[in-house]
Structure 1
Amino acid sequence: MLRVPAFVTFTAVTCAVLQTPVALADNPEWGINGTYTATSNGEWARKNEVFYDQASLRSTWTVSTQCSYPGECTGTVQSDFGWAAPIYQRSGVWYVKHTVENWIPCPDGTTAPGLQTFRFKPMTPEGAYADPTSDTLVGEDVTTGPSGACGVSKPVYINMPFKLVKVG
């Protein structure tokens, strides 16, 4: 019987493992894809941390994502409000950011833009963390205007509860 030294066996196995290509294929179960109803609840809106009644907004989003790992996804959102924006996921939380033109009306008739950021994750109706493949995601819709807009050195921001529910 031929005896192979342990270091030779270890080296051969290590080289075989290191030379094996790792497949990083897109897994649709990790992302969110399809048509969703997006709702920002203006009844609970806050403007600069003070409750400030706003109109609730409901729109339809078409979401397309690709994921390299669970929790690491990118893609695109198309809203029926006429905007498109990138979507990405980090550590189980989804983010969508886009510029809202003419968001802050100024006393002199000009306007300033706002940055709208949606942050959400899968949740149960009771508020507990849900399975990542859940069709209901909740979080917040925050729109922020730049400090200095309209000659005021204070940023304006409005925060509303947000819910995204898959419809197709």
Structure 2
Amino acid sequence: MIRALATAAVALVCAVGVATPARAQDEVAINGTFTVFSDGRFAETNDSRHDEYSVTQTWTVTSTCTTYQDCAGRVVSDQGWSGDLVYMSGRWKVTRTVPDWEPCIDGTAHPGKQSFMFWAVYPPEPGRYVGWDKTEGPSGACGFNKVLDVEMPLTVTRIN
């Protein structure tokens, strides 16, 4: 009898712990339209706080998951760009290139790599995420061997 109970308990634990694609799709994947706000009032450049312009945009997000850790998708912004969306370690990330992001004194400009990293708020609020909007210029741009980076707090909120 003890052996039968132990076998049943192991079977129950295994059944509960199995991540099915349908459950992962329902619980992790994000799809819909979102308002995305990058708060320039709390921006940091090279670890020093200063003001930047705040940016509000609307994203259309589509994603699918095969497991709780294997999700991917696409973001389309109303600002004319799109990027691949990946899920890793409980966080969503989308990256894009911003042309002519870092202007130089000589009139040239270098692109920036903008990354949006966000995760569900705690305690959970369905359709609400927080994170960071970080843009980095290339090392050596404008003749300086120092990367320029700007990081701002980010909120992502479902609107439908």
Q: Which runs of 5+ in 1 are unaligned?
A: 1-22
Q: Aligned pair 1:89/2:70, yes or no?
A: no
Identity of aligned residues (%): 40
- AA in 2 matched with 1:93: R
User: Structure 2 matches for 1:15-164, cutoff 5 A?
Assistant: 24=21, 27-123=25-121, 128-130=122-124, 134-164=126-156
Higher gyration radius (CA): 1
Q: Which runs of 4+ in 1 moved over 3 A?
A: 23-26
Counterpart of 1:67 in structure 2: which amino acid? C
TM-score (structure 2 length as normaliser): 0.83
**Deviation digits for residues 111-158 of structure 1, max 9, x if unmatched?**
0000001111000xxxx3527xx2100010110001100111100000
AA paired with 2:111?
P
**If the length of structure 1 is used for normalisation, what is the TM-score?**
0.79
Match of 2:66, SS state, is strand
SS in 2 for 1:54: coil
Between Structure 1 and Structure 2, the one with more helix by share is 2
Whole-angstrom distance in 1 between the partners of 2:155 and 2:52: 16
> Partner letter of residue 76 of structure 2?
Q
SS at match of 1:103: strand
Aligned length: 141
Instruction: Give me the CA root mean square deviation.
Output: 1.7
